[in-house]
Structure 1
C-alpha cells in the first residue's frame, strides 16, 4: 500500500497551493516538507528528484511528480475530478489553464517592484478577460462543466478568493460567480480547508519571499 502523499515546497502558497486545494477536496491526507535552505534544494537535485530542477514536488503512488499541471491532472483523474469524457476534460483544462494564468499574476505580486501598477493590471484583466468567461459558463449551471464538480471549479474558488483578498468588491457585478462561491464553500471538505488551522496557506509575506530568494540564489 502506498504511503501518505508528501509535498515538498516552500511554506507558502505559490504553485503548490492549487495542489493542496485539490487534495483537500479529494479528502486525501498529506504531509509537507518545507524548503528552507539551499542545501535542501541541492540535495533534491543531486538525488535526481527534480526533473527540470523545479518544485513543486509531490510524492504519490510510488512516484515523484513535478510540473504543477501534470500533478493537478493526475490528482484530478485519480479522484474523479476531471470530467466524464474527452470533451469534458478539454473544457476543464481550458478553464483551469486560464485560472492558472490569472493566479500566477497574483503569485508574482510579492516579487513585484511596481506593486500598484501590477495590481491595476490584474484587476483590469480579471474583470475584462477572465471573470466574464466564468460568469457566462455558470449561467444556469451549478458547475463549470457537465453539472459535476471538477478541478476547474476548485481552482475557480481558489482564484476568486485570492482576488477578493486584493480587491474585496471585485465580484460585485459577477453574481453567478458569487453564488457559485457560496455553494462551493458549503462543501464539507472545502469548509474544513477554509477553517483556521488547516493546511491552506496565507498570503505571502517577507519571510516567504526571502526564503525563495535564498534557496534559488536570486538577487
Structure 2
C-alpha cells in the first residue's frame, strides 16, 4: 500500500495551502516536511527533488510533483474531484483560476510594504465584490445545484470556500450581499471532511503574521 502523500513547504499557508485543503476534502491523510531554513531548501535542490528548484513539492504515488497547478490537477483527478467529463473539467478549471486570482491577492497582502497595505486591502475588497463574487453568485444561481459544477463536490467548490474564508478574515461581512455564496459557504463547510479540516488542531494554517512572513522571506530569498 502506498504511503501518505508528503508535502514539502514552509510551516505556513502560501502556495501549499490549497493542496492541504484539497487532500483534506478528499479525506486523505498526509504528512508535512517543513522547510525551516534556506539550507533545508538548498538540500532539496541539491538532492534533485525540485524539478524547477522551487517548492511546493508533493511526494505522491512514487512521484515528486512540483508546480502548484500540476499538484492540484493530479490530486483532484486521483480523488474524483475533477468532474465527470472534459466539459465539466473545463468549467472547474475556469472557476478555480478565478478563485486563485483572488486567493493570490489575499495571500500576498501580508508581504506588502506597510504603507501600501491599506490601498491593497481596498483593492482586494473592490475586486472581490465587483469582479469575483458576483460571478460565483451568478454561477450558483444559473446552475441551481448548490455546487459550482455538476451535482457533487469538486475542486472548484473547495477552492472557492478557501478563498471566501480568506476574504472574510480581511472583512467579516464581505459576502453579506451574496445570499447564494452564504448558503454555499454553509453547505460546503459542513461536508464532514471539510468540517474536520476547519476544526482547531487540523493541518490548516492560520493567517500569515509578521513573524511568519519574515521567516518565509529568509527561506525563499
TM-score normalized by the length of structure 2? 0.96
Partner of residue 27, structure 2? 27
CA distance in 2, matches of 1:131, 1:53: 35
4+ runs deviating over 6 angstroms: none
Q: How does 1:154-173 map to 2 (within 5 A)?
A: 154-173=158-177
User: Counterparts of 1:37 and 1:85 in 2: how far apart (Å)?
Assistant: 42
Give the superposition deviation at 1:206.
2.1
Distance 2:177 2:44 in 1: 46
CA distance in 2, matches of 1:211, 1:33: 16
- Paired residue secondary structure (1:48): coil
SS at match of 1:71: helix
| TM-align CA RMSD | 0.8
Query: What are the equivalent positions in structure 2 for 1:21-100 lying under 5 Å apart?
Result: 21-100=21-100
Q: In the alignment, which of 200, 209, 219 is matched to residue 196 of structure 1?
A: 200
Instruction: For residues 154-212 of structure 1, give each alpha carbon's deviation from its aligned partner in whole angstroms, at most 9, with x where no partner exists.
Output: 00110000001101111111000000011111111111100000110000012321121
Instruction: Report the Cα distance in structure 2 between the residues aligned to 1:211 and 1:125, rounded to whole angstroms.
Output: 29
Conserved in 2, the CA contact under 8 Å of 1:10 and 1:208?
no
Residue segments in structure 2 that go unaligned for 5+ positions in a row: none
**Aligned partners of 1:92 and 1:152 also within 8 Å:** yes
TM (norm. structure 1) is 0.97
Residue-pair matches, total: 217
Shift of 1:7: 0.4
Corresponding residue of 1:125: 127
